[in-house]
Structure 1
Amino acid sequence: MNDIYRAGAAARAARPALLQTGVLQEAIFSSPYFSCIATDAQGVIQLFNVGAERMLGYQADDVIDRITPAGISDPAEAIVRAAALSRQFDTPISPGFEALVYKASRGIEDNYELTYVRKDGSRFPAIVSVTALRDASETVIGYLLIGTDNTVRKHAEQERELLNRVLSDNSVELENARAQADKANRAKSEFLSSMSHELRTPLNAVLGFAQLMASDTPPPSASQQRSLDQILNGGWYLLRLINEILDLSMIESGRVAMSREAMALTEVLRDCRAMITPQAQKRHITLSFPSLAQPFYVHADLTRVKQVVINLLSNAIKYNRTGGSVLVECQQHGERVRLSVRDTGNGLSAEQLQQLFQPFNRLGQEAGTEEGTGIGLVVTKQLVELMGGTLGVESEVGVGTMFWIELAASSAPALQLGEHGVDIREPLAEAPFDAPRRKVLYVEDNPANLILVEQLIARRSDLGMLSAIDGHLGIALARQHQPDLILMDINLPGISGSEVLSLLRADPLTAHIPVIALSANALPRDVRKGLEAGFLRYLTKPINVPEFMEALDTALSLTTAS
């Protein structure tokens, strides 16, 4: 105790010297917002400002010449700090005042967090900055500890940590939910893809052979033709239903790929008119298309625009009155082009218009004679919106209905060339009558599909067919016979059609042979993947005979040109 008093007396004697240095300014010591505690060289408190009194609950006289700052600090933290500093500086440091000022005594800037203990025993976190006070000869004559109450910031940090934990937990939950949703979407997509494949395979045989029988020589009898018409109508309806369900599923899962390019509505309407005219003629519906002397161009997906227009035209014919009319118009609306399809059908009530785009809702037409899925308009609307367009409808009961779509206007597109530099819009030349028979190799493991294509090829006097029931045999036949064209199923036993294509392309003997995919894998991603893999064309089952024959002619004309 006598040593402490002697040290205190020495500090009092040195206090004027401390104040004369100008380090401790009166403004700092009188501030109530932070604590200023000055000690002598031994650590005994010599100055305890108003801020320190307010924060710690002591009066200056309670601590000056009596204790060191270690006496108002958490002793457990001092032990931990001393151990850490001992390891850092490889020297033993005592867990008292020495631990609080060790770095400052060696001229090292020191700011740290500690827990102060108030006079009433309560505790609070503080940020403390420690500076060694030196005289003119650089001898340490004391220490200055400036502290700020860190309670508010500490609470804010704790709340932030809690919030981060909550957000992290929520993020994990959201990620899990997203993963589950993605998994469910993938499962649904895989199921639909599998379902599509399994349905298309038998449909290919049904529709393919029905088309063959309908075009036989001699032609079928009237009763046979009626039966074939029923088979074909039912088969194409089932295929349309499969396609629309797949389209709707792909749109809802956000997996629809859209190309955005300049395209002429003139060409779209010309193609759609050719496709829809037979349907209109059966119902004695008059079709009126614009002359389009001034062509309209839009920025959209060509295939999807055709799908949309065909659907609108088909509905306008289907739900029209016998002998009615369908009027198609195009107009420029600012930076958009509007295409409208107006019919003279029964029209729709306000209540029916509100339900128009509900999936599987046929608006009371279920008992009617017209087939329908109740999905087509839903898919049409969503496809238009995915292309950045708008679909609208106006209708009056007893007068008719007008559907319209608006798409972004575009400038004229550049000339489109095929993969081999041939203008894809040029008509194909007819093969000479006396031309030698050209060889087509069909790689397919399904017997019914093999027989169907064999019979289709047999109707071509210019073609002969080889067949292989798996990919390895197909490669061997391609190397041996050098066919002019290869038709390739995708789902083959042992090795897939895509893998066969890759091996054919890697072999100099077969690399030049064009390969057309002919598959029941008909999702847009399947088609895109096939074309990216290098197939010249990707035809989906069931086979559409005119499209199939056109694809053969296109591929064979390219081999002739090369």
Structure 2
Amino acid sequence: MLKKSQPTDIERYKQLVNALQELAAMLTKDLLLDYSVDAATRLSDAGSAWILFPDPRNEMLDISTGTSKDGLQLHGLSIPINCSIEGWVYSNKQPVMIIDTRYYDQSRGEFIQLPDIEIKSILIVPMISKGKQIGVLEVINKRVGEFSPLDREILAAFAHQAAICIDNSHRFIQSDLVTELVHELRTPLAALNTALYLLQRSDISNERREQISQLIHTEFNRLSELTTSFLEYARLKSGRAKFELTRFDLTQLIKESIEIIQIQLDSKGLTISLSVPAEPLYITADKDKIKQVILNLLNNAIKYNRLGGKIHFIANISPTDISFSIQDNGLGIRPEHLPLLFERFYRGPDTDRKILGTGLGLSICKQIVEAHNGKIEVSSTVGQGSTFTVQLPINQSIKAKLVE
């Protein structure tokens, strides 16, 4: 069998041009990230690749997306900036190429050790957009031969253009989100403005003043909830939300969540039943964020249920997945509205406006579940109620650690 010849330098530059053309056609950040790591492995003939973005809150670099020939999920791993080689590239805006990690003296920081992957060679380049460092692109394990100066040159050129595209996608997302937030803020702000105007009048009764004061309190809480939810959604949408993976018993988390909302259940005369397997439902995930999803779905089942209604919480397990469903016997949702439920700021036209909500809760749930490589679905029958189902893989992204 003839050995496949390696591409010439001219052919490799042509591959770079083609990759940049395809990159420019990507319209969303998710597509940009997935394409960038895939193209990086092809352009450098590497075994794996990932992109890391800084988290200024804790001086860490977070892997936003990655690919490996072994199919390992790399999203969610974190690396300290101050003592890692990736952090050195980020801080100094210079590439690093290690032809053989056995002879690396760690003078520029430690490198990642991944379970089941032996890292033999490394090439890391900065991602700079308009003079601003936004992250680093890393490839490992040259498939044939060694990483070369040409590999470094091609990967650096690709990373520079990818950085510009990703940075622009952030700006488009932020612009759209801010526009929508401003629109959503108008209603509570208008209500507050009217209430404050009425309070200045001397001819209104004390009873009316008390009602207006309560309105101000309600709208203030709505503004606070809206801005908090918006910031959470924006972090998830931009890929900058931090995920801390731990192994825990989902059944115990469900019971804790039900205890939290018990007072709300009692206030509406609702009853809740729980159906789970006898054995613990162990899962690897971000416990706080999964709890956030459960509480949001339970709160919705309470808010949109009828007085004296019922909620049924069901959890099941398969060899690869855990799923849970929250059923209510409320008014239900019309079929034409179901596809829109997970859109940001969406609230159905049949929603009682006395029920407070931001229109972001289900969008946040969807972002969290999909970040765990899971899915969330809804089914509903008008007059009978709704069922929200979440399916999550039992084992999530692997944990990384630095070589000691």
Q: Normalized against structure 2, the TM-score is what?
A: 0.48
Q: Higher Cα Rg: structure 1 or 2?
A: 1
Higher-RCO chain (CA-CA 8 Å, sequence separation at least 6): 2
Normalised by the length of structure 1, the TM-score is 0.35
